[in-house]
Chain A
Amino acid sequence: MRATTPQQDFIRGIWDENPVLIQLLGLCPALAVTNTVLNSVAMSGATLFVLVGSSLFISTLKKIIPHEVRISTYILIIATFVTVVDMALHALAPAVYKEIGNFIPLIVVNCMILGRQEAFASKRPVGRALLDALGTAAGFTIAMLMMGTFREVVGSGTLLQGTPWMFNLFGPNYEPWVVMISPPGGFFTLGFILLFLGWWEDRKVKKREIRHWPHSVRVTSEREAA
């Protein structure tokens, strides 16, 4: 395993190894509940709680969890945190729960969370696991907000719908692109975001190749080199 600094542990998950946009993990919530900003934020918050809680727990207990039953134990710990979130959200924010409640239990099978436990928290000190979980959750939140903002603005013509700060962006004559707040819109949005990011990365690499020519014509991207 590569050695990393604490800063790297935290920063890495936010963009360079963004769970949704780069690793393409956790796509179920990213597609299903990002039809408004409020839902995206609620889902991100729930995921953050589960990720941080289970990372701390598993990193603390890594020495006493036998290797043979580690996955079952991780799932048990994750499922417990998810159930806590499920009940808490139902009790504290029933209106939001009505919208995204069906998808909260599915956090258990979000491979982003189990992946961080198996790849990081179960091998690293507690502090590092906390930083990693926070970074990954932040990256997840950024991706969710990107999708949620775009889908709500285009699909409903509003911003922060369902909160006291809601405002209408395009006036009453705007005909919303209803497809964007329905499930196909999630696929469209994610597809276009990934397309843009791929184009951006490609462009960066090409620019660097031109700058370095003729000394090194072939320059791999940072991600490939890493």
Chain B
Amino acid sequence: MSDEIRKDGGVPGDGEERKEFPQPEDVLPKDFETYTPQGGGSGTGSGPIREVAAVHRDTPESGPEEDLRQDVPRPGGLSLPVVSEQVSEEKLTAALGTPGVAESGDDKPEVSPFRLLMTLGLAGALAGALLVFVFQWSEPLIQAYDAQVLQEAVTEVLKGPDRFESVFVVDGSLTTQVPEGVDTLGLDKIYLGYDQAGNPVGYAMTHDGFGFQDLIRVIFGYDAEAGQVLGMKVLGHAETPGLGNKIEDQPFVGEFDGVNAPIAGVKPDRNTGAPDQVDMITGVTISSKAVIRIINERIAGMADLLAAFDPPGLASAAAGGVTSGGGEENQ
């Protein structure tokens, strides 16, 4: 009988949620008949509990607990539930679990510190091992890309040299031959470009300094004998988009082709055509000045070294057998 009532009174879609919890029949004594109030059970997940509680609340005729033990037929065909055993709210809650409350660590057995240590240690070791493999795969690709970027930049600022090689600053002088036992990674270096005949055409040098917001990194070609900048390229910056980033664009970059060092930045309308003048960008004064200052600083810093350095010409180039893109080998 109770089944029929539940079919009629149940809300569609309720059945799915009830599967989550034990049905009242599983928990209650066998001879306990549940009573489902009509239109009840709004499906909030606490259905079964509410139905049981409703036995005591919603039946107006229900007297003291003892009276319910007699199975008295009711007018509507309903029979009052027969309670043979007291079913407490606590007992039900314990059997059904508290809906909506996730399992917490409180009721779990204590885990030994050794197991915690092992779990984290093992996870860390596995993670490390995986990362080693990924690193070994990705590192050559990254280095190849960096080398390619450098080669393109050097080629651009030296106006297409046939090849170039790295020149290192060791103990206050320039040399192409790094002494044994010196790590080339920590050394300051510049790139010496050669033309097809094997004559040096100029040095490509990188340098960075503060711009408007952050460091600007610049590479430029420099002909030490003529004291002339051959070309410039901005490698990295964080200037304002739309304003400061114009230092990357051709009108400004082109100004540096063949300008005499030290460079003087001037406003476009004050340019007298002198060989050391570079037009600054209107509205981008700070970034423009920064680029010019970076280049001047680097040239001033390297001037003595470059003057003392005798670039290996035809002879040593042939002997060294450095081929195109030789700069990569020295990295």
Number of B residues whose C-beta is below 8 Å from A?
Answer: 33
Give the residues from 132 to 146 in chain B that come closer than 8 angstroms, CB to CB, to chain A: 134-135, 137-139, 141-142, 145
| A residues near B241, Cβ cutoff 8 Å | 155, 178, 181-182
Task: Known A72-B120, A76-B120; judge A91-B141 contact (CB<8 A).
Answer: yes
- Cβ-neighbour of A66 out of B100, B111, B131, B242 (below 8 A): B111
Is B1 part of the contact surface with A, judged by Cβ < 8 Å? Answer: no
Binds B, one of A18-26, A77-85, A186-194: A77-85
Is A195 part of the contact surface with B, judged by Cβ < 8 Å? Answer: no
Is A166 part of the contact surface with B, judged by Cβ < 8 Å? Answer: no
A94 to B143, CA, bound (A): 11
A178 to B241, CA, bound (A): 7
Contact present for B102 and A2 (CB under 8 Å): no
Nearest Cβ in chain A — how far from B19, in angstroms? 7
A80 to B122, CA, bound (A): 13
| A residues near B17, Cβ cutoff 8 Å | 3
| B residues near A90, Cβ cutoff 8 Å | 138, 142
Is A176 part of the contact surface with B, judged by Cβ < 8 Å? Answer: yes
A90 to B138, CA, bound (A): 8
Contact present for B134 and A88 (CB under 8 Å): yes
Contact present for B123 and A94 (CB under 8 Å): no
| B residues near A67, Cβ cutoff 8 Å | 105, 108, 111
Binding site for B on A (CB under 8 A): 1-3, 64-69, 72-73, 76-77, 79-80, 83-84, 87-88, 90-92, 94, 123, 155, 176, 178, 181-182
29 A–B contacts, CB within 8 A, in A order = A1-B100, A2-B45, A3-B16, A3-B17, A3-B19, A3-B20, A65-B119, A66-B111, A66-B116, A66-B119, A67-B111, A68-B116, A73-B119, A76-B120, A77-B123, A77-B127, A80-B127, A80-B131, A83-B131, A87-B131, A87-B134, A90-B138, A91-B139, A91-B145, A94-B149, A123-B102, A155-B241, A181-B242, A182-B241
Binding site for A on B (CB under 8 A): 16-17, 19-20, 45, 100, 102-103, 105, 108, 111, 115-116, 119-120, 123-124, 127, 130-131, 134-135, 137-139, 141-142, 145, 149, 240-243
